A and B are shown apart, each in its own frame.
Chain A
Amino acid sequence: MPSVIIEKDRCKGCELCINACPEHVLAMSEEINAKGYFFPMAAHPENCTGCRYCLLVCPDVAIQVENKGKVTKRPDALTEKGFSYCPGCTHGVIHRLVAEVLDELGVRERTVGIAPVGCSVLAYEFFACDMQEASHGRAMAVATGIKRGRPDLVVFTYQGDGDLASIGMAETIHSANRGEKITVIFVNNAIYGMTGGQMAPTTLPGQVASTCPTGRDVNLAGYPIRVVELLKELKTPAYLARVTVDDPKHVLAAKKAIRQAFKYQLEGTCFSLIEVLSTCPIGWGMQPHEACGWLEENMVPYYPLGEVKVPEPAVVKAGS
Chain B
Amino acid sequence: MAKKLMKGCEAIGEAAIHAGCRLFFGYPITPQNEIPEYMSARLPQVGGVFVQAESEVAASNMLYGASGAGCRVFTSSSSPGISLMMEGVSYMAGAELPVVIVNIMRGGPGLGGILPSQSDYFQATKGGGHGDYRLLVLAPSTVQEAADLVIDAFDLADTYRNPVMILGDGLIGQIMEPVEFKKEIKPEDLPEKPWATTGCAGRARNIINSLYLDPEELEAHNWAIYAKYQEMAKEVRHEAFNTEGGCDVLIVAYGTVARITKTAIEMAREKGLKIGLFRPITLYPYPTEALVKAAEGAKAVLVSELSTGQMVEDVRAAIAGRKEVAFHGRVGGMVMGPDDLVEQAEKLVAVPA
Contacts and interface: CB of A to CB of B under 8 A. Distances in A.
Interface of A: 108-112, 114, 121-122, 124, 128-135, 138, 141-150, 152-153, 170-171, 173-174, 178
B207 A130 contact: yes
B100 interface: no
A144 B63 CA distance: 9
Contacts of A143: 65
B232 interface: no
B197 interface: yes
B99 to A, nearest CB: 10
Contact of B65 (A108, A122, A145, A170): A145
Contacts of A178: 51
B159 interface: no
A121 B87 contact: no
B209 A133 contact: yes
B208 A145 contact: no
Nearest to B54: A174
A178 B53 CA distance: 10
B205 A110 contact: no
B235 to A, nearest CB: 26
A110 B64 CA distance: 19
B340 to A, nearest CB: 44
Contacts, number: 135
B25 interface: yes
A153 B198 contact: yes
A55 to B, nearest CB: 25
27 contacts: A109-B201, A121-B211, A124-B209, A130-B200, A131-B197, A131-B208, A132-B64, A132-B208, A134-B61, A134-B64, A141-B59, A141-B62, A141-B64, A142-B61, A143-B65, A144-B25, A145-B68, A146-B66, A146-B69, A148-B23, A148-B51, A148-B62, A149-B73, A150-B70, A171-B61, A174-B54, A178-B51
B3 to A, nearest CB: 32
Contacts of A144: 25, 51, 58, 62, 65
Interface of B: 23, 25, 49, 51, 53-55, 57-59, 61-71, 73, 87-88, 91, 95, 197-202, 205-211
A134 B25 CA distance: 17
Interface centre among B87, B198, B208 (most CB of A within 10 A): B208
B131 to A, nearest CB: 12
Contact of A170 (B58, B68, B73, B95): B58
Contacts of B70: 149-150
A174 B64 contact: no
Nearest to A172: B54
Contacts of B71: 149-150
